[in-house]
Chains A and B, each alone.
Chain A
């Protein structure tokens, strides 16, 4: 039990140190800026989109919704 607790404590400590390094050196920001955002941008740029200009504009489709 003591050994397990010791191991758990070490693991928590290690996780804290690792997370602090990510935080302090802005590694999350660097990953998002240099890898994630360019990847997602490329995905969005390549995405096939509906040509909204070709959708009909039927202005009389719905009533005027006027109430007294």
Chain B
């Protein structure tokens, strides 16, 4: 953590986005996490993504549970709504908030303890229900706040800082999210913002349950040889399947690409995701092959990253439940109380 606040002075070339804000305006309080924590880099990536998307901060709701990662929302987009829930219960609160006000941009921030252990059930159901959100797990494989015990996402056989090998199987959040019905699933690394920022932007743009598993090394307890969530390990084993270059309709096309190097995914709302192929020909809209590729990667000891799965025609909770089109707080008395005539009609139909 840092004692002095980040100075207000900024680079002279800093420019305002269409919403009238500079990137610095999307910052939050100075982080109190350990120096070098991957979570701070993810916060910086979220700041960059919100800036680039011209988001109005007051239209963002940040929800989190308990843990190092769940502290992080304090450190980005300060002028937004925030809710720090009971441990592992962020998904329920987010579901409720989303039902009540569908106009906000929902961002769930959680960790491997909060989402894969105490909150695993909640995690599964929020994906099943297709809540329109961006759910980010800052995944470091350890319980940092309690000094570095293995979490449920730690790989079997990985070595703790004290030298003990993990004997339990790990939970793969990405596979679980796809299995549970998330319609946008990606994995990235806190140390690679070039990959992470576009993924966050695309996830925030996605009209359905978007999930990002971001490997985020714990410098204090899980950044040693033998760890599979250290900076060095992830860099050595990172197998990026693709890079999102831009989202059409949002960004102007300034460069021309050889069509053979690009994969395009047309989404329901007309926007087109342009994915740069890296090496292999990977189709993220094919759920079965996505699951297969992820499993193969795990078997080969790779950390498979990029946009792993996207359903181009997602539907969300509101569509599934056929709810009213507007936020509940915009409904007024005539909408909510149609009057005696309507009541009589209903009663008559029941007689």
Is A bound to B? Answer: no
Residues of A within 8 A of B (CB): none
